[in-house]
Amino acid sequence: MNDQTDVRNAPAIEAIRPGIEASPPATLPSYEDPRLSRNSNFRWIVAGSTIALLGSQFSSLAMPWLVLKLTGDPFALATVMVISGVPQILLLLFGGGLADMYSPKKIMVWSYICCALLLFGLSALLFADSIELWMIDVFAFTTGLVFGLSIPASFSLIASTLPKEMVPAASSAVGSIRQVAAFVGPLLAGALLGVSQDGEVTATAAKAAPDVTIFAIAFLIDGIGLGLVALIMHQVVFRPVPRVDDQPKSAFNLMPAVRWFLADRQALTVLCYWMLVAFVLSGPVRICLPLLAEQSTGLGAQAYGILVSANAVGVFIGMTALGLLRAKLSNRLWPAILVLDGVAAALLVAVGLVHPTLSYALFVYIGLLVLIGTRGGFVEIAWFSWLQQRYPDDIRGRATSVFMVISTINISGSVALSGWLSRQMPAKELFIIAGAASLVVVAIGAVLRMSGLLRVDG
């Protein structure tokens, strides 16, 4: 990484004039304050992240519930998710180069504005009761385009605006604060969407043309929130990135980032392991969780919101634990991650075994999802903050693009496969298969760890 002059360590310029005292040191700009809680960039990031996440919970719960209400087909839900992921895969490549070549702030601000306008449009269609499934597909594709451009800039936000020594603490703090919003948001969204509850999410129920006004309100709330986030992000000050001789002339030049991943064996090995775990866990949870909430509890959207909130509580616990135990686990981080991955896999099998036979299933699922979320918060923040610190500054945006493209392809493939399998087997069998496959991946990871191939410095 390139060293940069730190103005905090520069000596104050003193006036050398007879009879005049040296002038006091200049006050640091608030965005360079070394105290995390008083750094203005950190405060703006916290505010924007919290609002964005609160709003996104309304859309995140409304979208799958709306699709299932209209069609009763989990494969249609998987199709919408894949349609959203495809343009992200294409434009993530372009977005990372833009983040390196141009202003990440402008990219993020205009992306939030565009997404807000798209949400307002979808909300208007729902208010007019003119929605059809193809319109939802178009919305998913268009928002995928916009987010594909902005994700690299947003994922490198903390590393691009705060001093490097503050990145781990800031990542943990922002993650924990956001998880509080992730707990509150689904409860509010579930309560709102519960007003529209009109029976099971099945093909028969879908023919009854459910009232979509509540869904319109949910998307409108998210649109207003993104508009506010655009204003907030305009206040964040990004530090300048020094140009190097091989700076790409084109935003499509990802070869420096690709070469970095291939040369860094630690990052490449850990990335492969993470991809395998994410593939076998992501799809079943995303596709089957709404079905699980409906079939096992009868509470529909309200139960769905409660389960998502339970998972958020677990993520908060995992992130907080990581912040508290970082020093003690610095040399034992990946053994801890392997243990947590193994626990998550076993819990997924447990979900399949109890689904949907228990009258008190909701309480069982809450406990299981809290534990699975704890694993997610600890593992993903540990891995991602380590990787963000490892990126060289001059290719940070493109390296994030490469990572996000791989991640999006991986999750989209998992979602598509899970949607297809949901037509072939009950949800409980899908959970059991996913959990068993995860245990196999963890066992492979343990062998790699013992052989010294799967490790992280520090």
DSSP string of 15-82, one letter each residue: P-BTTBPPPPPPPPPGGG-SSGGG-HHHHHHHHHHHHHHHHHHHHHHHHHHHHHHHH--HHHHHHHHH
Name the packing angle between helices 74-101 and 265-297 (round to 10°).
150
Tokens 């105290």 belong to: 35
For residue 29, the model assigns a pLDDT of 54
Instruction: Provide the 10 A C-beta neighbour count for residue 260.
Output: 18
Q: What is the pLDDT of residue 19?
A: 44
Side chain identity at residue 24, one-letter code = P
Predicted confidence at residue 323, as pLDDT, reads 67
- Contact present, 251 and 98 (Cβ < 8 Å): yes
| Radius of gyration of the chain from its Cα atoms, rounded to whole angstroms | 23
- Provide the pLDDT for residue 326: 64
Alpha-carbon gap, residue 76 to 420, rounded angstroms: 10
Provide the pLDDT for residue 122: 93
CA distance 344 to 371: 7
* 3-class DSSP assignment, residue 279: helix
Q: How many Å apart are CA 60 and CA 58, to the nearest integer?
A: 6
Report residues of the chain scoring pLDDT below 50.
1-26, 198-209, 244-249, 358, 458
Residues 123, 106 contacting (CB under 8 angstroms): no
Task: Count other C-beta atoms under 10 Å from residue 131's C-beta.
Answer: 18
What pLDDT, on a 0 to 100 scale, did the predictor assign at position 7? Answer: 35
Q: What is the pLDDT of residue 22?
A: 41
Enumerate the domain spans of the chain: 36-241+253-450
* 215 neighbors 193 (Cβ within 8 angstroms): yes
Superfamily of segment(s) 36-241+253-450: MFS general substrate transporter like domains (1.20.1250.20)
Alpha-carbon span 159 to 236, nearest angstrom: 13
Report CA torsion sign: 397, 402, 408, 410. negative
Q: Percent of the chain, pLDDT > 70?
A: 73
CA–CA distance, 458 with 442 (Å, rounded to integer)? 21
Cα separation of the two ends of the chain: 17
In this predicted model, what pLDDT tens digit does every residue of 87-143 receive, in sequence order?
777 776 666 666 666 667 788 888 899 999 999 999 999 998 888 888 999 998 998
C-alpha 211/C-alpha 246 separation (Å) is: 57
Specify the pLDDT at position 17: 38
- Do 102 and 152 contact (CB within 8 A), yes or no? no
Could you give the CA distance from residue 130 to residue 147 in angstroms, rounded to a whole number?
Answer: 25
Distance, CA of 295 to CA of 357 (rounded, Å): 10
Is residue 150 classed exposed, middle or buried when 0-12, 13-18 and 19+ CB atoms within 10 A define those classes?
buried
Residue 270: its pLDDT value, please?
A: 79
